Every structure is written in C-alpha cells, then in structure tokens.
Amino acid sequence: MGIEQYINQSHDVRYKFFNLALRLVTGLLLLLKGIYFVSHSQHLETIIMASDARSAVTFLVGYISFAHLFGGAFIMLGLLTRFAVILQIPILIGAMLYNLTSNAFEPVANFYYRLLCLCFSFMFYYMEAVGFQWTII
C-alpha cells in the first residue's frame, strides 16, 4: 500500500469517527436535557407560561420532554435519525427565538447550546439524506 492510499484511508476513518463521536455527544446532551425536563416539569411549565404559548402548556411540556428523551436516544443510537432530528428542529428553533425575543431568565450559555444542537441537527439530517454511512468499520 502506497503512502497516498494510507493517508486517504486514515483520513476516512478519522472523519467517520469524528462524525460518530459528534452524533453520540449531541444525542447524549439532548437525552440529558430530556431527563432534566421530565424531572423538573414545573420549570418547563414556568418557561412556557412566560411566553405566548399559554394555551398549549400541557402539549408542549409533553412534546418537548418526549422529543428530547427519545430523540436524543435515537440520535445517539443511530435509529430513525432523520425522524428524531425532524422532531428536534422545531423545539430548538422555538427555544432560540424565545431566548432572543424575551427577557429570558436563563444564561446566555443556553442560547449557544441550543444553537449548537440546532446546527448539528441540520447536519445530521443532511448526512442521513445523502446516505452517509455511520459505521467506522
């Protein structure tokens, strides 16, 4: 095997491993946020009541908790990744808009966390759409 083939092969392995690690970390962060929302549902209700979506509090609390729990687990495991990302995108866009438009009582770091998760969600959706292989073998 020539040096050029070796470099190309090692680049492919590192690229696939980086994407796998990124997917695992994003899924884990969303799963942990879902566990937080399930255990602190009153906090989530308070955030929703402070916005304009007061009429759909029960639905939104259930949807956000479900989407973060199962979406994070599915993204982490690689099961139904596009479906899980599609469930996450409206939540993340809504959270970013809420943080920008209201006087949110959450730190600015939460905005960057949401922006990062949204970007990764778009990236994972695109990679699944073009048929990217997630395996590192």
* pLDDT tens string 13-46: 666 777 788 888 888 988 998 899 899 888 888 8
**CA angle at residue 35 from 32 to 36, to 5 degrees?**
90
Residue range 115-129: mean pLDDT, rounded: 72
- What does pLDDT average to over the chain? 76
Q: What's residue 136's pLDDT?
A: 44
Six token digits for residue 107 = 């730190």
Q: What's residue 137's pLDDT?
A: 38
Between 131 and 56, the more confident residue is 56
Residue range 89-115: mean pLDDT, rounded: 70
